[in-house]
Each structure stands twice: as C-alpha cells, then as structure tokens.
Amino acid sequence: MLLQGTDDWTLNRAVGHIEGTALPGQSGNIGVAGHRDGFFGGLRKIAKKDVIRLTTLDGRCEYRAGDIKIVRPEDTSVLSSTGNPSLTL
C-alpha cells in the first residue's frame, strides 16, 4: 500500500509517496520512501531488470529495475525530475 507522505505514522503503516515527486501514471520521477527493515525488506533480493508494478485506481504502471543502491534519507539527488516515467524507491 502506498500512502501520501513520509512522516513516522505513514512509514510505520505503509510506504510513502514523497511530496513533490510525480504520481503513478504521470511522466517524471515517482519517489517512494520506506524502511528497508519493514515494507522494503523484500527489496534486498531485487536485481537489475526485475519488474516493479504499481496498481492504482486508474490502472497499472510497470517499471524495470536499473541502478540499485541504498541512499541516506538526506540524499535527495536521486529524486531529481526526469523526462521519462521513472520510479525511485
């Protein structure tokens, strides 16, 4: 489940959409935050070219894993806007 926001309450219940980033289905970079020892725990097994699907009320969006790295919460450079639909977890 994806909720709006990245406060403690949200991230203890789901992953959070990062304010100011694109929404699913829009062109641009969708930023999603989560705890790697919580809802993002399964990402430790992700590999390049794996497919990530987001399902919304408007339909399904698919993304293919590219660069894989863990960044510190204060490193917002990975959230830069893109001209293409992209997803940063």
Tens digit of each residue's pLDDT (9 = 90 or more) over 14-68: 999 999 999 988 889 999 999 888 888 888 899 999 999 988 888 898 999 998 9
Q: What is the pLDDT of residue 30?
A: 95
Overall domain count for the chain: 1
What is the average per-residue pLDDT within 61-80? 89
Q: What is the pLDDT of residue 32?
A: 94
- For residue 44, how many C-alpha atoms fall within 13 Å in the half-sphere facing its CB? 7
Residue 81 lies in a domain: no
Phi then psi for 10, rounded to 5 degrees? -65, -50
CA gap 62, 53 in Å, rounded? 5
Predicted model pTM? 0.87
Residue 63 lies in a domain: yes
Structure tokens at 1: 């489940």
Q: What is the pLDDT of residue 72?
A: 85
Which residue range(s) make up the domain with 48? 2-73
